[in-house]
A and B are shown apart, each in its own frame.
Chain A
Amino acid sequence: MHDIFLWTALGFYGLGIILLIPQVIHRRPSLSPASLGALGLGLLAHAAALLAEAAKIHRLPVVDVRSALSFYAFLVTLAFFFAYLRYRIASLGLFMFPLVFVLTLIGTFRVDRPFDSSSMRSGWLLVHIGSTIIGYTGFFLTFVAALMYLIQERELKSKKPRGFYYRLPSLEICDEIYYRSLLFGFPLMTLGMLMGFIAAARNWKGPWELDPKILASLVTWLIFLLLFSTRVSGGWRGRRAAYVAIFGFVTIMATFLGASLLSGPHGYFPSLKQLP
């Protein structure tokens, strides 16, 4: 059931993207009902897929990178709907959904290796996974807002308005989305990391601090700590902050995917599952 629902979700996401392209080309301020409908149906099908999976394995359907990405794509879609309801920016969809589509597509890849992780049922880990992934969802918006900010800023500095000038929201709105999503994401990321440390210290044998993913996450956390603290204290905004936010998000993606290949308990490959 999970697969059928997920493919349906993927189909609707694809359809939604195709339908929103003419809206953006023609500078419609908002998305057409058809496009929104398709994306909404995609969201529902995706929710159904996750529920089906959860019912089958009797826990949060985040057991490996594949399922984590699918769950992440679902949350990002949800975040899109929240942001869209608040700001009504059609171009937001164009920036967010291609990645949602790719993540969901990865989510459909079959993994025929059952992932044994009785430890994953522990409460610490549940909070670790949940809040990290929700925090990352916030950062996805931070990333998109930073990207839109940079493009719009470039248009304004160039003084020759081209397509994006008309299609993207004002710098102020980009900055607002950026700041709010950062405020939302950072505490969750911090909480998720602390829970992870606790869970690791309790369950893992050996030097858990040296796990590649944990190290990478620490670096990512420092980047966002920098963005968060400089912004809250008032100084950092604009171009520089946007660049750092984009870099930070790329690091997250790298941690999410890359470090998992190396890290045992976070990883894909059963053979690397346990550190000595």
Chain B
Amino acid sequence: MNLVLVGINHRTAPVEVRERMNIPEERLLEAVSDLVHREGVREGMILSTCNRVEVVAQAEENLDAEPILYQFLADHHHCEFASFERFFYHRRQQEVVSHLFRVASSLDSMILGEPQILGQVKRAYAAARQAGGLNGTLNEVVTQALAVAKRVRRETALGSAAVSVSYAAVELAKKIFGSLEGKTIFVIGAGKMSELAAKHLLRSGASTILVTNRTHERAVELAKAFQGTAIPFEELLDTIHRADIVISSTGAPHFIVRKEQAEKLLAARKSRPLFFVDIAVPRDIDPAVNQLDNAFVYDIDDLGQVVEANKKQREREAVWAEEIVGQEVQKMMHRLASREVVPTIRALEERLNRIREAELERHRGPLGTLSSEQRQAVDALTRGILNKILHGPVTELKSEAGEAGQHNLVRLIQKIFGLGG
């Protein structure tokens, strides 16, 4: 096993460098194909996203493969590589496994737990498969990386808390209403952010959308875009009670919903909850409305606060996720290592046994005719010696499985006993 990875990411390289090194998806197949046909490269995969470019390979044993990968990048981008080299990190063997597991699990992402990376790894994997670049150890490692990512997703909440303002609004709405199925949204005033929030809410299941704006034409326009209903601005207060979620972003200099008005609204709603998302500055909804039972008012700062808390929450989950990844790396290494060790042990046993049998054959003459008990005794004697000799190296090999020095040990034993592996 000889795994090598070189790469840059958002932490090690500025965007200009990442751009320069990027390998767009449409050229991926051709690039991987070039990579794996290079001398010394057995398997290869390329992961190229806007935040990272990584080239990973399984090379011939005992080959220093990094220069090959750097050369590949230089050739591919037609550049002098020396000026870029300082941005690159490299990983070997277990570090490669650990790195791939962490990347796929979104522990190495700019936004912890973001879900896109898993899809990107899957596409990189598919391209590499298609190019014939994955058929051995690396294939196994990447497949396992995808499985680990799924386990992390299943067993931790790493990716679940919203880390953008508009998603935070959706998350809060879900904390209040449970499912958004059949809920009505009222968008007051137009604006990028409120449109985005409304879009997310609709995608999460909200069914009806009402729109109003000071200029009615704009409201009609928006309503058309969302397939909703435009409400004249004057009828605003008579209509709000129909909505479960109100997204407000008018340019009004004063509150458009005051506490007394909100009280009436809630009564009209038979105390069903009402959620105000107030993204306007100055604010549209009197913050005192939040004191009312069943009314919840979040302004832009409140949403920001939720995002901050969620980020911290993700960091806490990341600790747990790292633990899972750690366990999985150990398991993987052990599996790979024992696979490498087992044939060596078997070869060693066979080799020694052949020597034993050859020597027995050679001494058959001087030993003369032996009774069956005597033959058994000689057999047991030689076997005993053989097993005692084997005990040391086999124990060492097994205990080193997965350790960094394992490969050297395997080599050493192969050399000493002439196993020709």
Known: A152-B175, A166-B161, A171-B175. A240 touches B293 (CB 8 A): yes
Cα–Cα, bound, A166→B158 (Å): 12
Please report which residues of chain A, range 80-125, place their CB below 8 angstroms from some CB of chain B when the two chains form the complex: none
**Chain A residues, Cβ within 8 Å of B177:** 170-172
Q: Do A170 and B176 have beta carbons less than 8 Å apart?
A: yes
**Chain B residues, Cβ within 8 Å of A202:** none
Cα–Cα, bound, A136→B45 (Å): 62
A194 vs chain B, min Cβ distance (A): 31
Please report which residues of chain B, range 300-320, place their CB below 8 angstroms from some CB of chain A when the two chains form the complex: 302, 305-306, 309-310, 313, 317, 320
9-residue interface stretch from B204-212, B269-277, B368-376: B269-277
Q: Within 8 Å of chain A (Cβ to Cβ): is B179?
A: yes
Q: Within 8 Å of chain A (Cβ to Cβ): is B51?
A: no
Known: A172-B178, A172-B179. A237 touches B302 (CB 8 A): no
Cα–Cα, bound, A171→B294 (Å): 10
**Chain B residues, Cβ within 8 Å of A234:** 270
Mark interface residues in A161-183 (1 if CB within 8 Å of B CB, else 0). Answer: 11001100111110010000000
Q: Within 8 Å of chain B (Cβ to Cβ): is A273?
A: no
A226 vs chain B, min Cβ distance (A): 15
Which single member of B172, B313, B320 contacts A166 (CB below 8 Å)?
B313
Known: A26-B156, A160-B305, A238-B271. A170 touches B313 (CB 8 A): no
Please report which residues of chain A, range 1-34, place their CB below 8 angstroms from some CB of chain B when the two chains form the complex: 26-28
The number of A-B residue pairs with CB atoms under 8 Å apart is 62
Q: Within 8 Å of chain A (Cβ to Cβ): is B298?
A: yes
Interface residues on A, range: 20 to 34
Q: Do A170 and B270 have beta carbons less than 8 Å apart?
A: no
Q: Do A156 and B296 have beta carbons less than 8 Å apart?
A: yes
**Chain A residues, Cβ within 8 Å of B350:** none
A222 vs chain B, min Cβ distance (A): 22
Residue of A nearest to B319 (CB): A26
Cα–Cα, bound, A171→B293 (Å): 12
Residue of B nearest to A233 (CB): B270
Known: A159-B306, A161-B309. A170 touches B175 (CB 8 A): yes
Cα–Cα, bound, A135→B355 (Å): 83
Q: How many residues on B have C-beta within 8 angstroms of the other chain's C-beta atoms?
A: 28
B337 vs chain A, min Cβ distance (A): 30
Which single member of A166, A170, A239 contacts B178 (CB below 8 Å)?
A170
Q: Within 8 Å of chain A (Cβ to Cβ): is B155?
A: yes
Cα–Cα, bound, A162→B316 (Å): 12
Q: Do B174 and A170 have beta carbons less than 8 Å apart?
A: yes
Mark interface residues in A136-164 (1 if CB within 8 Å of B CB, else 0). Answer: 00000000000000001000110111100
At the interface, is chain A mostly helix, strand, loop or mixed? loop
B378 vs chain A, min Cβ distance (A): 56
A233 vs chain B, min Cβ distance (A): 9
Q: Within 8 Å of chain B (Cβ to Cβ): is A236?
A: yes
Q: Within 8 Å of chain B (Cβ to Cβ): is A276?
A: no
Q: Within 8 Å of chain B (Cβ to Cβ): is A235?
A: yes
Q: Do B305 and A171 have beta carbons less than 8 Å apart?
A: no
Residue of A nearest to B267 (CB): A235
Q: Within 8 Å of chain A (Cβ to Cβ): is B290?
A: yes
Which single member of B172, B273, B317 contacts A27 (CB below 8 Å)?
B317
Known: A27-B157, A159-B306, A160-B309. A235 touches B270 (CB 8 A): yes
Which single member of A157, A160, A162, A240 contacts B296 (CB below 8 Å)?
A157
Q: Do B306 and A161 have beta carbons less than 8 Å apart?
A: yes
Cα–Cα, bound, A240→B177 (Å): 18
**Chain A residues, Cβ within 8 Å of B155:** 28
**Chain A residues, Cβ within 8 Å of B271:** 235-238
Q: Do A237 and B272 have beta carbons less than 8 Å apart?
A: yes
Residue of A nearest to B299 (CB): A159
Known: A161-B310, A170-B177, A171-B176. A26 touches B320 (CB 8 A): yes
B247 vs chain A, min Cβ distance (A): 17
Known: A26-B320, A172-B178. A166 touches B270 (CB 8 A): no
**Chain A residues, Cβ within 8 Å of B176:** 156, 170-172
Mark interface residues in B147-170 (1 if CB within 8 Å of A CB, else 0). Answer: 000000001110001000000000
**Chain A residues, Cβ within 8 Å of B302:** 159
Residue of B nearest to A32 (CB): B155
Cα–Cα, bound, A168→B31 (Å): 49
**Chain B residues, Cβ within 8 Å of A162:** 309
Cα–Cα, bound, A161→B312 (Å): 11
**Chain A residues, Cβ within 8 Å of B270:** 234-235
Q: Do A239 and B306 have beta carbons less than 8 Å apart?
A: no
Q: Do B294 and A237 have beta carbons less than 8 Å apart?
A: yes
Residue of B nearest to A157 (CB): B290
Cα–Cα, bound, A123→B231 (Å): 63
Cα–Cα, bound, A52→B172 (Å): 50
**Chain A residues, Cβ within 8 Å of B175:** 152, 156, 165, 170-171
The residue in B176, B271, B290, B306 that gathers the most chain A C-beta atoms within 10 A of its C-beta is B271
Q: Do A173 and B172 have beta carbons less than 8 Å apart?
A: no
Which single member of A161, A173, A239 contacts B293 (CB below 8 Å)?
A239
Mark interface residues in A223-243 (1 if CB within 8 Å of B CB, else 0). Answer: 000000000001111111000
Cα–Cα, bound, A238→B305 (Å): 25
Which single member of B156, B273, B310 contacts A171 (CB below 8 Å)?
B273
B72 vs chain A, min Cβ distance (A): 42
Cα–Cα, bound, A240→B294 (Å): 10
Name the 5 nearest CB pairs between A and B, nearest first.
A172-B178, A170-B178, A159-B302, A238-B294, A161-B309
The 23 sampled A-B contact pairs (Cβ below 8 Å) are: A26-B156, A26-B157, A27-B157, A152-B175, A156-B172, A157-B290, A159-B305, A159-B306, A161-B306, A162-B309, A165-B175, A165-B309, A166-B161, A170-B174, A170-B178, A172-B177, A172-B273, A176-B178, A235-B270, A235-B271, A238-B271, A239-B293, A240-B293
